[in-house]
Amino acid sequence: MGTVPWRCSRCGARFFARQAPWVDFFSAHCANCGNLELMRISGDYVPGAVSSLWRLLGIPAFRCNPCRRKFFSLRPLRKEYRENEFKAAS
């Protein structure tokens, strides 16, 4: 298993480390900084050549707040972040 990019939650520094626990591997996370706290957005905001196909298939789109990356993911949000998303929406 290789290393992936991460960002320190205290100081914001970026670094490379081994992959997260298996629980985090099966949930949506940012490939740039490893952030798990993602915001669900409309697929219309995600740039890219294949994004129209992902929108057509109904794949959910996410945005990472720290690095502002927008992407599609088949992986679901972690349970605690889904609960926070619903609280913010109401």
pLDDT at 1: 44
Q: Cα-flanking dihedrals φ and ψ of residue 86, to 5°?
A: -70, -35
Distance CA 72, CA 59 (A): 6
Q: And the tokens for 25? A: 């591997």
pTM: 0.66
Q: Where in the chain are the domains?
A: 3-89
Q: What is the mean pLDDT of residues 12-23?
A: 73
pLDDT at 21: 63
Q: And the tokens for 71? A: 């992407």
Q: And the tokens for 61? A: 């789109």
